[in-house]
Amino acid sequence: MKLFSAMLFLLAMHLGVHAQQIAPFKPGDQIVFAGNSITEAGLYENYIWLYYLTHFPDIPIRVINGGVGGDVAGQILARLDGDLLPKKPTVLVLTFGMNDSKYFEYGDTTKTQQTIQDAVVTSKNSFDQILTRLQQLPKLRKIMMTSSPYDETMENSKNLFKGKSIAMDRIAAFQQEAAKINHWDFVDMFHPMTTINQREQARKSDFTLTGPDRIHPGSAGHFVMAYLFLKNQGFANKPVADVVLDAKTARTNQTQNASVNNIKKTEQGITFDYLAKSLPYPIDTVPRVWENFQTQKQALQVIPFMQEFNQERLAISGLDDGRYDVLIDGEHLLKTTNKELAAGINLAEYTNTPQYKQALRLMDLNRQHRELEAKLRNYYWVQYDFLKDKGLLFNDSEAARDTALAYTATNIFLKSKMADYEIVRNKTKRKDLEQQMALIRKQLYQLNKPTSHRILVQAY
């Protein structure tokens, strides 16, 4: 096992440096993420969407949660035509492997190799059937994405299934091979995230991008997933904005993804109108995964997101030596020096700018959409993880409801989904829910338009 971990670490180092670039989403794309509970949580895909919302305000897309907790490839196959494809995706992101690779079966260590082999063969057989179905849809763009890792190396006494990571690695291998053969896009989460886990565990043995159960990423882990996906799409080092001004000449020396107008020298500094064509990416500080206290912000300690994806640079040279106040729309932003201004400041690091506050409102709306969509995902969970086996798939009758209620005393997962199922099974309430979500999407693409701000830099 130690040898495997070392080999996996080296492979992850290689893959993490040489990420495969895939095309960005296009205006009007509907992207369905099909997966298990990690996808159902709705975080990594909404973090990706939020990047598009803030960075590309004129490229409307819709990201759709197609996750159902507990799913393996065979269950995703069963949902293709009843759940996923009816959402009319232009892009399907397919991910599985965490549940396919088994859990408690690793308790008998004398059968570890057989458990691994059985898990991989079963998953591959189901995936081959998914492949056959998707080959019938040549206009649908397919993206194969490996699972986030099962963290087998963290210091934790819980849920240690030795050998599971090997099965996941082999599933990732056939996923990558199938993507290559079929000319699908491919995004690897498993190896780069394993790299980060093992790198950080060398410093702190209980570090993980998952959580106490070794399986489900917290908010930080989901943000790393979004970072890796966006990096694969080639967005690293694309600035929010980059402006370089000369205070002596009252002219711009450089502008990227921004415009500067009405530059005026003052006795104490300079003032100008500033319009960035993107918004800074807002960073959440609240844990969003049940029983996992990671925050999105904590991911910044292990990935260079701010350096690569969130640079709103403002540099002003030619100011007299001294200290300066920077104000935006009349509100104080920071106190700094002429030297620091000449070197450039990253406005995206300041949460009190009007553009950051605008981005925070976007983040909140995006979260509201995710929470409404979660009700739909709970409905589909009940349909496919319970009612389907009872011969009651998409039967929204009272009889189906009563059948489900009868099992809630012994099925805690079913019990946790029932309140949302009760709402969504009602066609009128389901329509209301969908209309609420549509309204939020409209608001998202109204709110995400950058506006001009007046910046004043003056000595004090």
Give the tens place of pLDDT for each residue, 201-230.
Answer: 999 999 999 989 999 999 999 999 999 999
pLDDT band per the 50, 70, 90 thresholds, residue 13: very low
Rounded to an integer, the average pLDDT of 165-188 is 98
Domain boundary among 214, 232, 250: 232
Range of the domain at 192: 2-232
* Alpha-carbon gap, residue 449 to 442, rounded angstroms: 12
pLDDT band per the 50, 70, 90 thresholds, residue 180: very high
Residues 9 and 153 reside in one and the same domain: yes
Collapsed DSSP state (helix, strand, coil) of residue 410: coil
Q: Which of 15-19, 155-159, 192-196, 437-441 has the lowest mean pLDDT?
A: 15-19
Q: Which residue has the tokens 């200290």?
A: 323
Domains identified in the chain, total number: 2
Task: Supply the DSSP symbol for 84.
Answer: I
Task: Supply the DSSP symbol for 450.
Answer: -
pLDDT band per the 50, 70, 90 thresholds, residue 139: very high
Collapsed DSSP state (helix, strand, coil) of residue 340: helix
pTM of the complete model beyond 0.85: yes
Please indicate, yes or no, if residue 30 is contained in any of the structural domains: yes
Structure token digits, residue 321: 């030596």
Domain boundary among 208, 232, 256: 232
Q: Which residue has the tokens 């298990």?
A: 36
Please indicate, yes or no, if residue 346 is contained in any of the structural domains: no
Q: Give per-residue pLDDT as tens, 53-97.
A: 999 999 999 999 999 999 999 999 999 999 999 999 999 999 999
Q: Give per-residue pLDDT as tens, 229-278.
A: 999 999 999 999 999 999 999 999 999 999 999 999 999 999 999 999 99
CATH code for the domain in which residue 112 is found:
3.40.50.1110
Please indicate, yes or no, if residue 350 is contained in any of the structural domains: no
| Helix ranges restricted to H, 80-163 | 112-134
Burial category of 11 from C-beta neighbours within 10 Å (exposed 0-12, middle 13-18, buried 19 and up): middle
What is the pLDDT at residue 291?
A: 87
Please indicate, yes or no, if residue 131 is contained in any of the structural domains: yes
pLDDT band per the 50, 70, 90 thresholds, residue 197: very high
pLDDT band per the 50, 70, 90 thresholds, residue 20: low
Collapsed DSSP state (helix, strand, coil) of residue 169: helix
Q: Give per-residue pLDDT as tens, 328-373.
A: 999 999 999 999 999 999 999 999 999 999 999 999 999 999 999 9
Residues 225 and 369 reside in one and the same domain: no
Average model confidence (pLDDT) for the chain? 95
Domain boundary among 181, 205, 232: 232
Please indicate, yes or no, if residue 278 is contained in any of the structural domains: no
Asked if 183 and 138 count as a contact pair (C-beta separation under 8 A), the reply is no
Please indicate, yes or no, if residue 220 is contained in any of the structural domains: yes
